[in-house]
Amino acid sequence: MPSPTSAATPVASDGPSGSVSEALAHATRLLDRSPALALRQAQEILGAVPNHPEALLILGIAHRRNGDPQAAATILADLAQAQPKSARTHYELGLAHAALGDDTAAIAALRRSVAINPAITAAWRTLGDMLTLAGNTEEADAAYASHIRSAVNDPALMRAADALCAGNLPVAERLLRDRLKLAPTDVAAIRMLAETGTRLGRYADAEKLLARALELAPSFTAARHNYAIVLFRQHKAAEAIPHIERLLAQDPRDVSYRNLLAACLATIGEYARSIELYEGVLNQQSKQPKIWLSYGHALKTAGRRPESVGAYRNSIALAPSMGEAWWSLANLKNEPFSAADVNAMRGQLQDTRLAVEDRFHLHYALGRALEEAGAYADSFAHYAEGAKLRRGEITYSAYETSAQVRRAIEFFTAEFCTAHAGDGCADPAPIFIVGLPRAGSTLIEQILSSHSAIEGTMELPEIANIARDLGNRGGDKTTPSYPECLATLGPDEMAALGARFIDRTRIYRKTTKPKFIDKMPNNWAHIGLIHVMLPHAKIIDARRHPIATCFSAFKQHFARGQNFSYDQTELGRYYCDYVRLMAHFDGVLPGRIHRVHYENMVENTETETRRLLDYCGVAFEPACLRFWETDRPVRTASSEQVRQPIFREGLDQWRHYEAWLEPLKEALKITQEGQGSAPDPLGP
């Protein structure tokens, strides 16, 4: 016999209206405590008063919370049609569609909800989450801003929130800073100012503000979610994970939290957990093409190629215009495209409404498909158009790169390097592989990672983070910038920088091997910093024929970090800057850097491998010559190539495109027979 507290309140069909009101109120209270009892109560009300709107709403909510979102969606869709101006009904219908994985229907219902009643705070937050899952970051940010606006009642904050929602970020920032001068502990204002910083791309400022908000209000869930996102966007996944796990402890089924945790885990190399999380999310959100895409990336990195192909194909089936999914399939390098695939991609490019991001990804994918078919002229046209579109979306200055190289050459003199030879952290574990992307660094990493004493990790962000933090020291014009600021550091501070690198990269190491690899190619620009803060680290320069290297980079779309690669002239200048700086360090630090020419490694694998291992201070092991048998995650564009033996066929692939590479040749100042010189390409 049920207890009095759990029994449904009886409803008299012919009784006073107050009886129905009491029953509805009781059913509403039961929703949080026991959705099953709330469902029974709603059914009894509807038995007495058929089609009662509030009872139907409770019934729909109870079905979803009781694990039957399909029943909820059916009830709520009919109710929304009968009551088209009920914002709460559209909100709940959106939640039901989200639980079914139908993000398009969920977003549509949530948009109707907030259009009817912009004050429904939870609807804005859920809409932001759904748009984030769908990859619509710009609209998601706008929804989150509206969530903030709907959550505040203070007139001063409402004015700032209005400016934030309208995209008037300078006004929002001024109003919020004025507010914080008067009320420095106003956590709502702090969070809003952090959101303004995020929208402006000032993630470091946003991070500090959100940390302060959480210090003042540890239970401020929205601020903690924002904080985790900001950390992740700054490549601080390890720091973000504890905050996401805390959020999940409060709401274990929240899809946006689980998706963010999966992305963070993949970033630190925890692919098994990441894949498991993505699979759980896809069980709830099976119609999310962006999540299928992320799932495919994790599977590819873990070496589960057939499954990654299936994930990418699922993404394409759900969103045929999603260029990144097509490119991800192409980026497997050895996954053939059918004539139907090529026609489908060409058809998508005919759509004038296609977003630029989808368009350039499709051009790159078509370039790869047509290269496989031997249609080199058409292939190059698509590579070039993809690069042109991508270049229009980014900011890059070849002059700034050249200026940075010039300053590094002027600063890191032989005298400076000798004077600081004993400084830094003495840990001999790190092995850095630097150079241009697509120059053979993944092959070197795979060979070294096949050794019992060396662990391969990934392209680690920490050296760039340290350089950026050094450059931001002081925050005024009197403080020396990087690298000049290194002259102000003593031996202990140099050692602390090296120790920071060792400490911050520990999370990427999954074994007890004594040495580990950082394969971030862009670290060539920070050789001097690496030398003084980690004097016993090994540095390997991966070098390949300059045209082969540069063209391979030109036809590769990079997720981030290689903004020099989308214009032939800028690419050539970047290569020359790189060669010039490496030549400088060869002069001031003779023997410090070990150079591996890709062509030599292909032709004389054992000889070059022995030289490489000798430089790294480890004994030769035959497993290094059978590197393709080493089972480990590989994140780079060459992941599939290093899972098979070396082959020569790739050495001269660029010659198929030589007729269209004159701008690159001119920038490199070399002929096709040459191996490259390093002119000073400084601009005005």
Give a three-class secondary structure readout of 237-302.
Answer: HHHHHHHHHHHHHHCCCCHHHHHHHHHHHHHCCCHHHHHHHHHHHHHHCCCCHHHHHHHHHHHHHC
* Rounded mean pLDDT, 422-443: 93
- Report which listed range, 41-50, 188-197, 523-532, 555-564, is most confident: 523-532
Predicted confidence band at 228 (pLDDT cuts at 50, 70, 90)? Answer: very high
Where in the chain are the domains?
320-393, 398-473+481-668
- Dihedral angle sign, alpha carbons of residues 430, 436, 442, 447: negative
27-32: average pLDDT: 87
- Residues belonging to the chain: 684
Cβ–Cβ < 8 Å for 27, 58: yes
- Rounded Cα distance between 572 and 664, Å, is 5
pLDDT(676) > 60: no
What was the pLDDT predicted at 21?
A: 86
Indicate whether 268 pLDDT > 60. Answer: yes
Percent of the chain residues topping a pLDDT of 70: 91
- 99 vs 148 pLDDT, higher one: 99
Please say if the pLDDT value at position 467 is more than 50. Answer: yes
Q: Which two tokens stand for residue 609?
A: 């491998």
What integer pLDDT is reported at residue 653 of this predicted model? 85
Element (H or E) spanning 434, and its range?
Answer: strand 430-435
pLDDT for 355-408, tens place per residue? 999 999 999 999 999 999 999 999 999 999 999 999 999 999 999 999 999 999
Least confident piece of the model among 62-76, 216-230, 402-416, 465-479: 465-479
Question: In whole numbers, what is the pLDDT of the chain averaged over residues?
Answer: 87
- 109 phi and psi angles, rounded to 5 deg: -65, -40
Identity of the highest mean pLDDT range in 11-15, 226-230, 647-651: 226-230
Rounded Cα distance, 154 and 179, in Å: 11
pLDDT at position 183 over 70: yes
Write the DSSP assignment of 477-492 as a string of letters. Answer: TTS--TTGGGGG--HH
pLDDT in tens, 111-127: 999 999 988 878 888 88
Res 678 pLDDT > 70: no
Predicted local confidence at residue 545, as pLDDT? 92
CA-based torsion, 261, 263, 268, 270: positive or negative: positive
Domain 398-473+481-668 falls under CATH 3.90.15.10:
no
Write out pLDDT tens, residues 501-537: 999 999 999 899 999 999 999 999 999 999 999 999 9
User: Against a cut of 0.85, is the pTM above it?
Assistant: no
What pLDDT does residue 136 have?
A: 79
| Residue 20: CB atoms within 10 Å | 19
pLDDT at residue 11, rounded to an integer: 46
Distance of CA 481 to the CA centre of its chain: 28
Mean pLDDT value across residues 1-17:
41
pLDDT digits (tens, 9 = 90+) for 605-620: 999 999 999 999 999 9
Higher pLDDT, 635 or 216: 216
Q: Note the pLDDT of residue 675.
A: 44
Question: Which of 114-128, 214-228, 297-311 bottoms out in mean pLDDT, i.e. has the lowest?
Answer: 114-128
**pLDDT given for residue 670 in this prediction:** 52
Section 423-448 average pLDDT: 93
Is 618 in contact with 454 (CB distance < 8 Å)?
yes
Sorting pLDDT into bands at 50, 70 and 90, what band is 140?
confident
Amino acid at 468: R
- Mean per-residue pLDDT, 11-22: 56
User: Is the separation of the CB atoms in 632 and 620 below 8 Å?
Assistant: no
So what's the pLDDT on residue 491? 93
pLDDT for res 449: 92
d(CA 87, CA 79): 11
Question: Does residue 31 have a pLDDT over 90?
Answer: no
Cα 537 to Cα 23, 496, 501, 548, 618: the distances in Å are: 72, 15, 11, 29, 13
**CB under 8 Å to 566, separation ≥6 — which residues?**
387, 388, 390, 391, 394, 396, 554
Predicted pLDDT of residue 56: 93
Determine the average pLDDT of the residues in 71-75.
93
pLDDT above 90 as % of the chain: 60
pLDDT of residue 648: 61
CA 525 to chain centre: 23
